[in-house]
Amino acid sequence: TVPTGGSSIQWFKNLFELEDKEFILKELNTIEDENTERNILFFPYLMGTGTPHFDYRAHGAFLGLQINHKRKDLIYSIIEGIIFALKDSFVSISKPQIRKIFLSGGATRFPIWPKLVSAIFNLPVFVFQNADSSTIGAFLLGAKRLGIIKDFDTIINGLIPEDPFLPQIKYTQIYEKKFKKYRHFSNFIREYSTYDKDFLEYI
């Protein structure tokens, strides 16, 4: 889990006094593909981290900043960092049986999200067009339990989007290397957080 996944974007918006969070996401869609090779890493540990580390003392961090980086590069790295944190949990607790990912919610209106999820997880990503798909899913589960719905498979098949975002080799290779760096430096970030706390208590 990522305790401050979406909140990381809100934090960035407040920090730089940006008026519209959706403007941030729209700006992401203007980023050129070449930005995937920029070596900024963001660790979304603004309130610690859940699975797989369960370390709520961890602090957030940017690594790899250079003078040529722009605001959109930082935003881009925040999105990457959130997805890296999700994948870190995924590979730690999941067997390689998942073959596809389904996304829903407000952020899916912006292609950058499913595109990056597909590239980082190296899996096809299906986007539900209905923003309330989670609510619909909960309703269907309840209706099935009560016996209101008999033919569950037919209803589900009618909700599944047809055209997924597919991973592209040139991006998956880049992100496989970047994810390894993320996991490596994640250990140092969490160790620093512990050291920093102990040091402050000492002085």
Q: What is the CA radius of gyration of the chain?
A: 19
pLDDT of residue 202: 45
Beta strands per DSSP E along the chain: 41-43, 61-63, 101-103, 125-127
Q: What is the pLDDT of residues 88-126, one digit of tens each?
A: 988 877 666 788 888 877 767 778 889 999 999 999 998
Evaluate if residue 181 carries a pLDDT over 90.
yes
Domains (ranges, CATH) in the chain?
Answer: 5-202 (3.30.420.40)
Q: What residues have CB less than 8 Å from 203, skipping those under 6 apart?
A: none
Q: What residues have CB less than 8 Å from 137, skipping those under 6 apart?
A: none
Strand partners of residue 127: 103
pLDDT of residue 85: 92
Evaluate if residue 53 carries a pLDDT over 70.
yes
When comparing pLDDT for 58 and 185, which is higher?
185
Q: What residues have CB less than 8 Å from 173, skipping those under 6 apart?
A: none
